[in-house]
Structure 1
Amino acid sequence: MWLNIAFVGLKVLMIIVVAGIVVRVAKMLIRKTFSVRIKGPLKYNERRQQTMSKLLENVVTYAVYFMAIIAVLSAFTIDITGLIAGAGVLGLAVGFGAQNLVKDVITGFFIIFEDQFSVGDYVRIGQAEGTVEEIGLRTTKVKGFTGELFIFPNGNVTDVVNFSIHNSIAVVDVNISYESDIARVERLIQEFLVDLPEKYEQIIKPPELLGVQNITTTEIIMRITAETLPMQHFAVSRGIRRDLKEYLDQKGVEIPYPRMVMVQRSPEESNPSVIAKK
């Protein structure tokens, strides 16, 4: 009896160890394969390849551990045929009650198949905004800019804004005072924009000065736009604002600042009868 128990225990231990090794080796091969595909001459979509790599790793893990569980049950001489048949009936019953789970899996499949978003994309899902960390068949994980992790059941992913597919637009508003010569300021800004593509490699096209965007009670607002690589518009906008401020300071262009106008009346002007005579 003790020999049989030891043999069964050793067999179970070997199954678990082999399953762990198979999972690790399979994940390593999947990552290596997709890494070679990304760097290959066919120029596969890197976003899609990373997503498919994560998905395949999850599928392989589930499949190997499921087979390991079956093997462990066989080691204990449990009738697997009846168990699988019963599991099928139980799964059908659970399927009717787990409609949300089925919905999550189907939605996750279509998210990956249609390439709506991929791992590494910057997206907005509902009120959450951040970088996609992982896409599974049931859930999607999004990491926010400040470090929080949002986990969405795929069935709840309805409205998605993907910022990483197309190029971004950097928008920079420049405020100048009323006393400034608009024509001169426009000429200076045009001269400043000429050298920007050489300084910022994220800029795709030469920046453009759109002109006067708005006129308020205290300032004139001029707008600059620049097309950048996806999600690079934040850094480019900050850099342009800093460089443009220094450039305009060197050229003597005055920025607006709050002013107070005080009107002092003489005693005669404050008298209504005197004002009427005038």
Structure 2
Amino acid sequence: MNGLDSLILEIKEHLFNEALWWKIGEGALRILLIIIITRFIIKSGKILIHKLFTVRTRSAIRITERREATLMKLLENVLTYVTSFIALMMILQALTINVGALLAGAGIVGLAVGFGAQNLVKDIITGFFIIFEDQFSVGDYVRIDQFEGTVEEIGLRTTKIKNWTGELHILPNGSIVQVTNFSLNNSVAFVDVSLTYDADFTKAEEVLQELFLTLPEKYSDMVKPPEILGIQTMAGADVAIRVTSETLPMRHFYIARILRKEIKFCLEQNGFDVPFPRMVTYSREPEINSGKMNMGG
């Protein structure tokens, strides 16, 4: 019983030890300050990065908007990783953990694990060359293997691609071998216009040419007026004329729909009929009736 009483007394002494609680409170306050300062540094750093690139857009010497968006996102990620790592080390030190010994042990463990981390190193090196060579940037529409969509983020280890239905594909940079970038050059929209065989093709081309000259003013995605290449196909009920239009990158689908609408209204206003399959039927009833009349006579 005396041993139990002494144990309870010792616990009470520790619980009511003013120096102990002062040390705990000081450590908690230090950790709280570290977290607040870390969040402030990250938030302020991101604002500073945005302002830095905003100033560059107004200067005479600047890089492309694609690379600006990519580098800005990359710098934000690096700032977050580095600041969070330093804050973690400071929190461990506030908890009276020997950070130097921990880092030394981590170095030994890292050396042992390094032989199995070849894929990680490959991802980082590939990500560096993707950004350095400007293979693709944030906002570009790309196809990587079977994945196709808009690049949302390029990191040192992974690349995020979002397709038009909303799925987000996260690809390790080391797995990226071949890339098709649709956003580097202008696109081309093409539309086949069907006319009947008896239509006046010369007049139709003149009417369409007049229409095409007015379209770039209405639709800024058109680089220049559309062109008529000539007759594309001759089917059973119609003749198709191919029309092409150079557009801004990845705007050819939209411009193709606009061209179909404008061409349809223009042809209708100028009296051109829409071709449709025609069927001619013959009735042999009069011959049968006349044969019966001859037999009766």
TM-score, normalised relative to structure 2: 0.84
Q: Name the aligned partner's letter for residue 200 of structure 2.
A: D
Higher CA-based Rg:
2
> Cα gap change, 1:18/1:216 in structure 2, threshold over 3 Å: closer, same or farther?
same
Deviation of 1:195 after TM superposition, in Å, equals: 1.8
Return 5+ residue gaps in structure 1 as ranges: 269-278
Given that 1:140 and 1:154 are in contact with CA atoms closer than 8 Å, whether structure 2 keeps it comes out as yes
In structure 2, the partner of 1:177 is: 196
Counterpart CA distance in 2 for 1:145 and 1:15 is 41
In structure 2, the partner of 1:272 is: none
Deviation of 1:43 after TM superposition, in Å, equals: 3.9
Deviation of 1:267 after TM superposition, in Å, equals: 10
- For the pair 1:98 / 2:117, whether they are aligned, the reply is yes
Given that 1:12 and 1:75 are in contact with CA atoms closer than 8 Å, whether structure 2 keeps it comes out as yes
> Cα gap change, 1:155/1:265 in structure 2, threshold over 3 Å: closer, same or farther?
farther
3-state SS of paired residue (1:145): coil
3-state SS of paired residue (1:188): helix
3-state SS of paired residue (1:97): coil
- For the pair 1:202 / 2:221, whether they are aligned, the reply is yes
> Cα gap change, 1:88/1:222 in structure 2, threshold over 3 Å: closer, same or farther?
same
Counterpart CA distance in 1 for 2:210 and 2:85 is 66
- For the pair 1:247 / 2:266, whether they are aligned, the reply is yes
Question: Which residues in structure 2 correspond to 1:226-265 (within 5 Å)?
Answer: 226-263=245-282
Question: Which residues in structure 2 correspond to 1:1-278 (within 5 Å)?
Answer: 1-263=20-282
Which deviates more, 182-191 or 219-228?
182-191
- Alignment deviations for residues 225-269 of structure 1 (CA, whole Å, 9 cap, x no partner): 11122222222221111111000001111122132233556899x
> Cα gap change, 1:266/1:138 in structure 2, threshold over 3 Å: closer, same or farther?
same
Counterpart CA distance in 1 for 2:281 and 2:125 is 70
- Alignment deviations for residues 163-184 of structure 1 (CA, whole Å, 9 cap, x no partner): 1111111212111122222222
Given that 1:167 and 1:227 are in contact with CA atoms closer than 8 Å, whether structure 2 keeps it comes out as yes
Counterpart CA distance in 1 for 2:184 and 2:41 is 35
Q: Name the aligned partner's letter for residue 143 of structure 2.
A: R
Given that 1:38 and 1:49 are in contact with CA atoms closer than 8 Å, whether structure 2 keeps it comes out as no
> Cα gap change, 1:266/1:95 in structure 2, threshold over 3 Å: closer, same or farther?
farther
TM-score, normalised relative to structure 1: 0.90
3-state SS of paired residue (1:195): helix
In structure 2, the partner of 1:275 is: none
Return 5+ residue gaps in structure 2 as ranges: 1-19, 288-297
Counterpart CA distance in 1 for 2:281 and 2:177 is 57
Counterpart CA distance in 1 for 2:78 and 2:143 is 27
- Alignment deviations for residues 128-169 of structure 1 (CA, whole Å, 9 cap, x no partner): 222111111111111211222121111222222211111111
Counterpart CA distance in 2 for 1:22 and 1:231 is 38
Give the helix-richer structure, 1 or 2: 2
CA RMSD of aligned residues (A): 1.9
Number of paired residues?
Answer: 269
Counterpart CA distance in 1 for 2:240 and 2:113 is 62
